[in-house]
Amino acid sequence: MRYTDWTREKVNKIIKNANSNNPYKLCDFLGINIDYADLGKDILGLRTVNFRIPSIILNTRNTEQENYITLAHELGHHICKHNTNTEYLKRHNLTFKSYGVEYEANKVMIDILTYNTNIAEFHTQKDYLNYYSIPNWAKRYVDWNYLKENANFNTFDSVLD
């Protein structure tokens, strides 16, 4: 499975229809239950479907930012219609994946977090990543070429590296 333009268009359409790229509002819009549970030290969150009812469970041990990122990732599994019943995001597996369901979920996560952004507003890639709170482990999922192709460099002074 590879992340495609079709997937990106689907994500953009959902965000536009929901009038928000906030993962909590997207879950509400899509009818996805959000629950909280103590999932231990390693599991950040998971997505599950029971009796055709989708739910995302976030770890009560997470910070607010970790929950925000995790929710966007788990939404990726839902949006991509991954058919495994339970997807876990774990602290120890936050490494770059170049294919598969985790790769796609991470790409959706980045598209949700950076929806409708103009990288020309930022001096460096690091500034861009920090502004959108993209964790260091996820920076390889950012499609810099796509962002540059869609940037409006006439509006801002930019020295994006």
- Separation of alpha carbons 131 and 59, rounded Å: 24
User: Within a domain: residue 152?
Assistant: no
Return the higher-pLDDT residue of 111 and 152.
111
Q: Count how many domains the chain has.
A: 1
Query: In degrees to the nearest 10, what's the CA dihedral of 133, 139, 145, 150?
Result: -10
User: Within a domain: residue 134?
Assistant: no
pLDDT reading at 35 higher than 50: yes
User: Within a domain: residue 54?
Assistant: yes
Task: Identify whether the C-beta of residue 35 lies closer than 8 Å to the C-beta of residue 126.
Answer: no
User: Within a domain: residue 68?
Assistant: yes
User: Within a domain: residue 151?
Assistant: no
- Separation of alpha carbons 139 and 93, rounded Å: 15
User: Within a domain: residue 47?
Assistant: yes
Note down the domain range covering 26. Answer: 5-117
User: Within a domain: residue 16?
Assistant: yes
Question: pLDDT tens digits, residue range 111-123?
Answer: 999 999 999 999 9
User: Within a domain: residue 155?
Assistant: no
Residue 17 sits in a domain of what CATH number?
A: 1.10.10
pLDDT reading at 99 higher than 60: no
Q: Supply the pTM of this predicted model.
A: 0.85
- Separation of alpha carbons 58 and 136, rounded Å: 20
Q: What is the mean pLDDT of residues 130-154?
A: 89
By mean pLDDT, which of 6-15, 39-48, 84-93, 104-113 is the weakest?
A: 84-93
Question: pLDDT tens digits, residue range 43-95?
Answer: 899 998 888 889 999 999 999 999 999 999 999 999 988 776 555 666 656 55
Return the higher-pLDDT residue of 82 and 136.
136
> Kindly report the CA angle at 98 between 122 and 14, in degrees rounded to 5?
60
- Separation of alpha carbons 154 and 112, rounded Å: 25
Residue type, 9: E
Confidence class for position 38, pLDDT limits 50, 70, 90: very high
Confidence class for position 161, pLDDT limits 50, 70, 90: very low
